A and B are shown apart, each in its own frame.
Chain A
């Protein structure tokens, strides 16, 4: 289908890092079933490095592809690098998303940020609240 780029289709058909990490160091879940997409990211962190990452996604093709690409982009990277991952970078790495699907890349960015926030909270590490927007309102990204 010409709806999506070849990269999107590749990551949708062969998603990387699907699954769950038992005893994850940080878990982030964004979206809701009412809107039709939920992303859940599991992180394994050692010495400030993301040594493993898995995801589960309920959503459309671009949501699954965005999750897959985003997890690839932070695997092996430092927490600092992961925090700087933008939805734009995810969309670009996928050779672009249709305009009405850009929210999927936003969800991927926010799922990672939520997982990192969860890691900070679990470990009592102080963090800058401004870096972590709340994802409770669908119109925020679907608008």
Chain B
């Protein structure tokens, strides 16, 4: 049995998305910037896609800017808010310790330019509270940027409450919603979100395309200079096939959001309950406010890469926050941020489900993960020391 359980990394493109893309290769191949009818036909497709995305987020089409993906959207949102803040002498940014690197590395760059960054602690409940945001706000705060949901451990942040805090304080609020869009109901107006990043391939759309929602009037700064595409804020001929595919996928995801949530959440909870039975393991991430498809565990005494390789051999595609899978010495910054020590962070496993997964696949995962964990523990000197009492259990 082949089980794809790495949907937080990327998803399989849907038939709906593919069907929306194909005409853009075959018939609607004009450049949306061209004056002729072929160009105008492409322009119409582009604007129809923009309207679909806007509708799913509860904003106006003119507030949507298409990008190459979530990372570009994050970069542009943060840089724009920083430049705007700096003009008013405000150079303090609030974020969290478990953001995606697209956010963290952009913030590090700004720190070198003299910005001050407060990263909120995520130890408590593997999440943050709106109160933490409120407490961190200063006179010179120019941006609050928090992810909507964490890509590794699945915690869903209290976005509506954070939005309310930011609105009251008059501070722009950006959220990296790459993992949430298409999986959680979002309304940027009701939730007081000023900027939001999304990525097409996380909800069965194509790769290499994303979007940035920006509340009308907020001064965007270009990351890519050139032509006047995207209201002059993002140069480069639009990737029309990908944009149309993404819009169709998002429309489809939002239309089936409730039923997908029910199905995926049930499978997730069965996996969590089953894997909890493995001794000396721990669930990572917020147990209650959690992405429908996210399962993330640490297993003491083993290392994540060997776990992934063996699971792959048994037909299960998953991921891990171990250092070996990242090519660096340190395990995932997210696991360290929630307080997992290196020793156990190396032994992490993330399974991320979508509505294409089945209960039979969950059965298969529940059969093979305990087998593989116990096989690897059987050859682990760390596990032997734990069992002999020469080393103390952490989990």
Contact = CB atoms under 8 A, between A and B. Distances in A.
A58 B309 contact: no
A69 B345 CA distance: 27
Q: Which of A12, A33, A55 has the most CB of B within 10 A?
A: A33
Given A34-B343, A58-B380, A12 B312 contact: no
B303 interface: yes
B306 A61 contact: yes
B210 interface: no
A40 B381 contact: yes
A56 interface: yes
B305 A61 contact: yes
A63 B306 CA distance: 9
Contact of B382 (A19, A58, A60): A58
Interface string B305-336: 11001101100000000111001010100000
A38 B383 CA distance: 11
Contacts of A58: 301-303, 380-383
Given A33-B342, A36-B342, A56-B381, A138 B305 contact: no
Interface residues of A, number: 31
A139 B328 CA distance: 11
A96 interface: no
B109 interface: no
Q: Which of B301, B302, B329, B381 has the most CB of A within 10 A?
A: B381
A20 B387 CA distance: 14
Nearest to B305: A60
Given A35-B329, A60-B306, A142-B329, A18 B379 contact: yes
Contact of A138 (B324, B329, B343): B329
A52 interface: no
Given A12-B309, A59-B303, A59-B306, A36 B324 contact: yes
A129 interface: no
Interface residues of B, number: 27
Interface string A1-38: 10000000100110100111000000001000111111
B312 A1 contact: yes
B183 interface: no
Contacts of A101: 324
A12 B306 contact: yes
Contacts of B327: 100
A76 to B, nearest CB: 22
B231 interface: no
A11 B159 CA distance: 48
Nearest to A139: B329
Contacts of B384: 20, 56
A108 interface: no
Contacts of B343: 33-34
Nearest to B300: A33
Contacts of A20: 384
B330 to A, nearest CB: 9
Nearest to B323: A36
10 contacts: A15-B379, A36-B324, A36-B331, A36-B346, A58-B380, A59-B306, A59-B324, A60-B303, A63-B303, A138-B329
Top 6 nearest A-B pairs (CB, nearest first) are: A60-B305, A60-B324, A33-B343, A40-B381, A36-B346, A56-B381
